[in-house]
Amino acid sequence: MLKFDESKQVNSVNGALKLRSEVEKIVDEVWEKGFDSIYYLGIGGTYASSMQAVTYINGKSNLPVYVQHAAEYYTTGNKRLTEKSVVILSSVTGTTQEVVKAIKEIKKVGATVISFVDLPNTPLADAGDYLITYSGNEQLKFFMAADRLMYRNGEFDDYEDYYKELDAHLAIGLVETEKSADEFGREFAEKHRHDAMHYFIGAGNQWGGVYSYAMCYWEEQSWLPSKSIHAAEFLHGTLEIVEETTPVTLFIGEDEQRSLSERVANFLPRICANYTIIDSKDYNLEGISEKYRGRLSHLIAHCVTQRIDAHVEKLNCHPLDIRRYYRQFDY
């Protein structure tokens, strides 16, 4: 398989899961101190992951949790974000300029900052009150923090059982999912690698992933025009420009908003003959209980899109780490 190192991926997921004791220690300490609200902060891909985490919590908890866009914060502010608030962020490089700028303002307010930063000794690694340094698996790290917060709030009684399953089965399950999606990824890439425009639709904890996939993967990495649209919003505008040949891909997860995507799935065949449905239910996660799949369906979708990207890169002769403009000069 292209760009697939099974042992590396298993070790990466298991390594992230082993961070749980660190996450628990931090969250428990923050919990004991008390807080008035929780903000997941980001921009671009980290904003997308923040949306996933907050949607996830909103469906299961009464915790006061919000998404905060970094650039909106340092321009507009947020009076509800106070010295008693908790801010959670993630960064690969630790240097994302908009997040650095936002955190400087947030620290002036006095909020508590929990940072997941891949590289130590960087501005964002140094700016937080709490730091966990580990490369990759951003969503998994964000969701571990969310799970511990909900557990402390008395809303996740089977927290320990859930993580026993993840520790035992998740890494292998995701690897096997990616293997099973490889042929689909190749066929999808061959069909759509020269699309003039591609529409990606999703809802629930899939939505942040869809938002990121269109912008950070197809546009930024593959230089392919695309648009992300929430399943609920698709039926209030975008549907009018979909024709028989319009490329449309719908992601369906297994959480509370599944019905929103199913509604689009029922509608698409009436107007389009060039649509694809990627449903997490079509992929097995051996060892993971049915009741937990909704919490993980966004990770299944990511396995599928990784196979698409690997084949698009190969077929289009375009390395995904090349950028024309992003971080190439000051702007």
Instruction: Report the C-alpha gap between 191 and 172 in whole angstroms.
Output: 29
pTM above 0.95, yes or no: yes
CATH code assigned at 225: 3.40.50.10490
Q: Are residues 184 and 290 in the same domain?
A: yes
Q: Within this chain, do residues 217 and 104 fall inside the same structural domain, yes or no?
A: no
pLDDT at 3: 96
Name the phi and psi angles at 55, rounded to 5: -60, -40
Q: Are residues 223 and 287 in the same domain?
A: yes
330 falls within a domain: no
User: Looking at the structure, do residues 193 and 251 belong to the same domain, yes or no?
Assistant: yes
The pLDDT of residue 318 is 97
51 contacts 24 by C-beta, under 8 angstroms: no
pLDDT band per the 50, 70, 90 thresholds, residue 196: very high
150 and 18 within one domain: yes
Q: What percent of the chain has pLDDT over 90?
A: 100
Section 234-253 average pLDDT: 98
Query: Do 117 and 254 fall into the same domain?
Result: no
Return the number of other C-beta atoms located less than 10 Å from residue 172's C-beta: 17
Q: Are residues 195 and 305 in the same domain?
A: yes
Closest-CA residue to 69 (of 38, 96, 41)? 41
Could you tell me where the DSSP H helices lie in 120-279? 123-127, 138-152, 159-165, 171-180, 182-192, 207-212, 231-234, 258-267
Q: Write down the pLDDT at residue 275.
A: 98
Per-residue model confidence (pLDDT) at position 262:
98
Query: Looking at residues 121-142, what average pLDDT do you find?
Result: 97
- Mean of the pLDDT values across residues 136-159? 98
Let me know whether 118 and 143 are in one domain: yes
The answer to whether the beta carbons of residues 185 and 307 sit under 8 Å apart is yes
Q: What is the pLDDT of residues 22-47, one digit of tens each?
A: 999 999 999 999 999 999 999 999 99
The residue-averaged pLDDT of 11-26 equals 98
Same domain assignment for residues 233 and 287: yes
- 159 close to 165: Cβ distance less than 8 angstroms: no
- Band of residue 323 on the pLDDT scale cut at 50, 70, 90: very high
pLDDT, tens digit, for every residue of 165-178? 999 999 999 999 99
Residue 101 pLDDT level (bands cut at 50, 70, 90): very high
So what's the pLDDT on residue 309?
Answer: 98
Residues 191 and 89 in one domain: no
How confident is the model at residue 306, as a pLDDT? 98
Name the phi and psi angles at 76, rounded to 5: -105, -30
In the predicted model, what is the mean pLDDT of residues 61-70?
Answer: 98
Query: What gap in Å lies between CA 232 and CA 58, rounded to an integer?
Result: 17
pLDDT level of residue 313 (50, 70, 90 thresholds): very high
Q: Does 186 lie in the same domain as 97?
A: no
According to the model, what pLDDT value does residue 327 have? 94
3-state secondary structure of 12: helix
Burial class (CB in 10 A: 0-12, 13-18, 19+), 264: buried
Give me the domain span that covers residue 44.
6-157
Q: Strands 65-69, 86-91: parallel, antiparallel or unpaired by DSSP?
A: unpaired
CA distances from 279 to 77, 83, 184, 250, 275 (A): 38, 42, 12, 8, 13
Q: How many distinct structural domains can be found in the chain?
A: 2
